[in-house]
Homo-oligomer: A and B are copies of this chain.
Amino acid sequence: FSSTTPIKATLFPGDGIGPEIAESVKQVFTAADVVIDWDEQFVGTEVDPRTNSFLTWENLQSVLKNKVGLKGPMATPIGKGHRSLNLTLRKELNLYANVRPCYSLPGYKTRYDDVDLITIRENTEGEYSGLEHQVVKGVVESLKIITRKASMRVAEYAFLYAKTHGRKKVSAIHKANIMQKTDGLFLQCCDEVAKKYPEIYYEKVVIDNCCMMLVKNPALFDVLVMPNLYGDIISDLCAGLVGGLGLTPSMNIGEDGIALAEAVHGSAPDIAGKNLANPTALLLSGVMMLRHLKLNKQAEQIHSAIINTIAEGKYRTADLGGISTTTDFTKAICDHL
A contact residues vs B (CB 8 Å cutoff)? 84, 87, 110-112, 127-128, 132-135, 137-149, 175, 177-182, 184-185, 207-209, 211-216, 229, 232-237, 239-241, 243-245
Contacts and interface: CB of A to CB of B under 8 A. Distances in A.
28 contacts: A84-B178, A127-B178, A128-B178, A134-B181, A138-B147, A138-B148, A138-B185, A139-B145, A139-B147, A140-B145, A140-B184, A141-B146, A141-B182, A142-B146, A142-B179, A175-B229, A207-B233, A208-B232, A209-B236, A211-B211, A211-B233, A212-B236, A212-B239, A212-B240, A214-B237, A214-B240, A216-B240, A216-B244
A318 to B, nearest CB: 16
6 closest A-B pairs by CB: A138-B148, A212-B240, A215-B240, A132-B181, A208-B236, A111-B111
B142 A144 contact: yes
A164 to B, nearest CB: 27
Number of copies: 2
Most central of A178, A207, A213, A215 by chain B CB within 10 Å? A215
Contacts of A239: 212
A144 B144 CA distance: 8
A299 to B, nearest CB: 26
B140 A181 contact: yes
Contacts of A175: 127, 229, 232
Contacts of A209: 236
Nearest to A139: B147
A114 to B, nearest CB: 13
B182 A211 contact: no
Given A138-B149, A237-B215, A179 B244 contact: no
Contact of A142 (B128, B182, B241): B182
Contacts of A215: 111, 215, 237, 240-241
